A = this chain, B = another copy of it.
């Protein structure tokens, strides 16, 4: 099961993701504060993210070192061009993912946003843009949109492998959908 994944130590790419979850949120907080208040200071970031000022200070130092955050002459925080691009990308990923979960998969809002938030910084650029491309289609083509909505409104948490043909389960002995949550 997932042999190739486990064999090539590929699974640790996770930690090597160029952008950590927290760093993404520091960048987005700067963006949000500048849109909201017109400026962003370290303390505002800390308050918005509900972390200590010390934590914010150290995180921002890290982001400055990476060249994603700078300061204006009055020492207010700015996103560099790269920083802004990264923030924007993650924000977009969040929007696209949460809309997909909520409006296509018809997951409840809470879950959709929780899932989107966890994954927003992990989606590759390629996958993110292609998901957007698909979403624009799924939500604009009435015919298709209706079909998909119909499909999702008949959602059954598990299927009967004896009577249904499943192109996903394929070789596996048990229907994937029967995996129950324990967590």
Give A residues with C-beta under 8 Å from B. Answer: 1-7, 9-15, 17-19, 21, 25, 28-29, 31-32, 35-36, 48-50, 82, 85-86, 88-89, 91-92, 94-96, 99, 101, 104-108, 111-115, 117-119, 122-127, 129-137, 139-140, 144, 147-148, 151-152, 155-159, 165-168, 174, 176-177, 179-183
Most central of A94, A137, A165, A179 by chain B CB within 10 Å: A179
Q: Please give, as numbers and ranges, the residues of chain B lying within 8 Å of A157 by CB-CB distance.
A: 129
Q: Please give, as numbers and ranges, the residues of chain B lying within 8 Å of A14 by CB-CB distance.
A: 21, 117-118
Q: Are A6 and B21 in contact (CB under 8 A)?
A: no
Main secondary structure of the interface of A (DSSP, over half): helix
Q: Are B104 and A134 in contact (CB under 8 A)?
A: yes
Chain B residue nearest to A125 (CB atoms) is: B181
Q: Are A85 and B1 in contact (CB under 8 A)?
A: no
Given contacts A1-B28, A96-B176, A167-B140, contact A118 B111 (CB under 8 A): no
Q: Are A31 and B1 in contact (CB under 8 A)?
A: yes
Q: Please give, as numbers and ranges, the residues of chain B lying within 8 Å of A131 by CB-CB distance.
A: 105
Given contacts A29-B6, A139-B167, contact A35 B1 (CB under 8 A): yes
Given contacts A5-B113, A168-B96, contact A151 B134 (CB under 8 A): yes
Q: What's the least CB distance linking A124 to chain B, in Å?
A: 5
The answer for the CA separation of A119 and B151 in the assembled complex, in Å, is: 25
Q: Are A10 and B49 in contact (CB under 8 A)?
A: no
Q: Please give, as numbers and ranges, the residues of chain B lying within 8 Å of A166 by CB-CB distance.
A: 136, 140
